[in-house]
Structure 1
Amino acid sequence: MASPMKNMLHQGEDEEEVYAYAFQLAFSSIFPFTLKAAIELRLLDIIVEAGPGAALSPAEIAAQLPTRNPQAATTVDRILRLLAANGIVSCTDVGGAIDGPRYGAAPVCKYLTRKEDGEPSIGSLALLIQDKVFVDTWHQLKDSVLEGSEVMKATHGMNLFDYLSSDIRFSKVFNKGMSGHTTVPVGQLIITYHGFDDVKVLVDVGGNQGTTLDMITSMYPHIKAINFDLPHVISVAPHLPGVEHVSGDMFESIPTGDAIFIKWVLHDWADADCVRILKNCGKALPAGKGKVIVMEYVLPVVPEQSAKARGVFQLDLAVLAFCPGGKERTETEFKALGMEAGFTGFKAVHLLANNYVMEFTI
């Protein structure tokens, strides 16, 4: 009787690809930490800063690192090979050159490297998600299924927002990651959504460092902007022209405005908490007027095999791990939250990569 292994190997290239995929999955945690190291070492920045179309050898890249390690170029080469296999950089074999292959920037590098103005990119989000504080929580995911435990609390003894107020280093990493994550989606929001045209006072609930309001008011300078967040966040928020920083608790009350903006906050909370937040947003609006503008990732009803779907389902598990009760939602689920909170009007506009802007009106 033939062994299962022999039968598998006789099934040809399709089965070989399935096996190779299973093998890759077994090592899947290696890639994000390799990307983290590349970002921390500025390997991608070095390649991008060499100019459009540039291709550098590992030795040329390693020469720009603050190291005397004689093996640095070899290790850089091994890191970049994995990134090339994942489409992060291009790799060109120059025919047995002494200094090895040459690496260039793939299109995704523009989102992973520092922008020309020095502002953080989505690379800062990668550093946040791969930070030890978050990584340690994943060992508790199984117990969240079997015992219903809160993953973040089981790991660190407190929820995410309490932890942020207790760990200055991680709070800085978190704020930078959120700012880097904001720029591209909010840039698309400003282009696509025209609901800010008639807004006089805009309150950003959970606005972190004020990056979003800074971008919105640069396009709509007539808006009086209020950045509203917890005291430990507001205490380190930078001065921004046209933006007033106000500290408080969104579960207690929210500053008044004719429009309330709330981005990537509801996914941190259970349904009942979201309804409470939305009700407080409604109370902050003029009687019978105004709108609540919600920007969130929206789950596809059926999982697809695409980068967009994988990204949002990974995010859904991240909020499961980091925020008790937190979850990503479908458009229908967001509409239901709004209706339960007393809003009668709802419309949704797609921005990019499963990001939507949703408008709730009374």
Structure 2
Amino acid sequence: MASNVGNKASEIFQGQVHLYKHLLAHTVDAMSLRWMVELGIPDIIHNHGQPITLPKLVSILQVSPTKVRGVQSLIRYLAHTGFFEIVTIHENIEEKEAYALTAASQLLVKDNDLCLAPVIKGLVDPSSGGVWSDLKKWTYNDDDLTLYDVSVGSNLWEVLDKNPACNKLFNDAFAADSKMMNMALRGCNWVFEGVESIVDVGGGTGITAKTICEAFPNMKSIVLDRPRVVENLSGTNNLTYVGGDMFKSIPKADAVLLKMVLHNWNDKDCRKILENCKEAVSDKGKRGKVIVLDIVMNASEDEDELHGLKLLFDVRMTCLINGKERKEEEWKKLFVEAGFQSYKISPFTGYLSLIEIYP
């Protein structure tokens, strides 16, 4: 009997640890990443040329002695979560604890061509964090309103249009993320075989389109996005910017690229976008295609960390903007309902898939 009581207590205490871990991480995880980027710690370690000790780091940061313990606490937690590696170095015949960059924090070094620091600045925005406190209100709202609608009275896109500073952070974040996709696209030249023209729908400032133009100088590339996004951008001989609305029409081309676009929208809106895509690629007398770069939910095959990331994306998309992440059968249903005949899914990046769909 005593053993059963002990086992029950052990389960309760384990549950408490699990609960407190996620409760405390609610703000610490995101804000410690923002803190690390704002202080330029990955750059400091990178420029130091070797793992750095805490005394050396706080000296470079010019931190007050009263805050040294706090910096150590944050750095050790970031090491625990995989953003630094704690190593031992030898200095003046002494062994000292030092901090080295990991694959994750290397992506936050400004000199890195694939720097993702703007993603942190864009997504970890204290001014928008308050909308999550209205989850209960959102849950019991009968209308098809987003968490932004319920909390601030406007959807995300309206908020961005009204706030140039937030809009710039948002665009900078996705421009940085596009560089990761572009690295993957360079290994997918087969996707563009026979394609003479392509429209990048929601292509922002054209980071991806420029990569495609460099790889295929004879291909005509068009970036379609909100007028506010493209109004001051200049094109080149084979790159043009078009301000427009993908729900109304999409320029004609051999192919249409939808890069992390469809997960922003519900099924009804996605069908409309895909129908416009089908019309855009079906008017040239040959079989065009739509190229979708997006998440495919696959709990049975994904590792736990990857599946967890996809679930987090799904929560953000669903609550913030009425979007969703989809399983393959859900993607297939959308394609069929939009009038497409076939599709093919290929691996792309760690969490994204490449889907080719044909009319």
TM-score in terms of structure 1 length: 0.88
Change (3 A) 1:133 1:223: farther
Q: Deviations over 1:318-356 (max 9, x none)?
A: 1122213x1011122112211111110211111122311
Alignment partner, residue 142 of structure 1: 136
Instruction: Output one character per residue of 1:22-54: Cα deviation in whole Å (capped at 9) or x when no partner.
Output: 321121121211111111111122112323xx1
Q: Is the 8 A contact 2:234 2:241 kept in 1?
A: no
CA distance in 2 between partners of 1:140 and 1:352 (Å): 33
After superposition, what is the alpha-carbon deviation per residue over 1:75-103, rounded to whole angstroms, capped at 9, x for unaligned?
32221111011111012366999997311
User: Contact 2:131–2:147 at 8 Å: present in 1 too?
Assistant: yes
Partner residue in 2 for 1:300: 298
Aligned counterpart, 1:75: 70
Report the alpha carbon displacement of residue 6 of structure 1 after superposing the two structures with TM.
Answer: 5.8
Deviations 1:43-79 (A, max 9, x none): 122112323xx111223223333x5634454432221
- Which of the residues 239, 242, 246 maps onto 1:246? 242
In structure 2, distance between residues paired with 1:261 and 1:133 = 32
Aligned match for 2:277, one of 276, 281, 286: 281
Pick from 255, 260, 274 the counterpart of residue 259 of structure 1: 255
Once the two structures are TM-superposed, the CA of residue 216 in structure 1 deviates from its matched residue by 1.9
Is 1:48 the counterpart of 2:43? The answer is: no
Q: Is the 8 A contact 1:204 1:226 kept in 2?
A: yes
Are 1:348 and 2:323 an aligned pair? no
Map residues 186-265 of structure 1 onto 2, 5 A cutoff: 186-192=182-188, 194-237=190-233, 242-265=238-261
1:68 to 1:251, Cα distance in 2 relative to 1, 3 A: same
What is the DSSP-based 3-state SS (H/G/I as helix, E as strand, rest coil) of the residue aligned with 1:101? strand
- Give the secondary structure class of the aligned counterpart of 1:357: strand
SS at match of 2:191: coil
Return the offset for 1:264.
0.6
After superposition, give the CA deviation of every residue in 1:253-284 in whole Å (9 maximum; x if it has no partner): 11111111111111111111111011111111
Q: CA deviation at 1:315?
A: 0.8
- 1:107-122 matched pairs, under 5 angstroms: 107-117=103-113, 121-122=115-116
Match in the other structure for 1:162: 158
Instruction: List gaps (5 residues or longer) in structure 2.
Output: none
The number of residues matched between the two structures is: 353
Percent identity of equivalent pairs: 26
Q: Give the 3 Å change call, closer, same or farther, for CA 71–180 of structure 1 in structure 2.
A: farther
From the superposition, tell whether residues 240 and 83 of structure 1 become closer, same or farther in structure 2 (CA, over 3 Å). Answer: farther
Change (3 A) 1:27 1:220: same
Q: Which amino acid aligns with 2:77?
A: L
Distance 1:339 1:319 in 2: 23
Secondary structure of the residue aligned to 2:249 is coil
Cα distance in 2 for partners of 1:255, 1:160 equals: 25
Does residue 18 of structure 2 align to residue 24 of structure 1? no
C-alpha separation in 2, matches of 1:294 and 1:219:
19
Partner Cα separation in structure 1 for residue 57 and residue 233 of structure 2: 35
Q: Which amino acid aligns with 2:30?
A: P
Q: Distance in 2 between matches of 1:194 and 1:134?
A: 41
The 1:17/1:7 distance shift into structure 2, 3 A limit, reads: closer
User: What is the deviation of 1:20?
Assistant: 2.9
1:114/1:306 CA distance change after superposition, 3 Å: farther
How far apart in 2 are the matches of 1:34 and 1:214? 34
How far off is 1:242 after superposition?
A: 3.9
Check the 8 A contact 1:57/1:99 in 2, yes or no.
Answer: no
Task: Give me the whole-angstrom Cα distance separating, in 2, the residues matched to 1:268 and 1:136.
Answer: 21
**CA apart distance, 1:317:** 0.9
Distance 1:267 1:133 in 2: 24
The CA deviation at 1:136 is 1.8
Corresponding residue number in structure 2 for 1:90: 85
Please, what is the CA RMSD of the aligned residues?
2.9
Contact 1:58 1:74 in 2 (8 A): no
The code of the aligned residue for 1:79 comes to L
Structure 1: tracts of 5 or more residues without a match: none
CA 1:128 to 1:321, structure 2 compared with 1: closer, same or farther past 3 Å?
Answer: farther
Return the alpha-carbon distance in structure 1 between the equivalents of residues 40 and 357 of structure 2: 42
| CA distance in structure 1 between the partners assigned to 2:299 and 2:7 by the alignment | 37
> What secondary structure sits across from 1:179 in the alignment?
helix
Match of 2:121 among 105, 123, 127: 127
Letter in 2 for 1:268: N
> Is 30-39 or 129-138 further displaced after alignment?
129-138
Task: Specify the SS of the correspondent of 1:131.
Answer: coil
Which residue, out of 163, 175, 178, partners 2:171?
175
Give the match's secondary structure for 2:60. coil
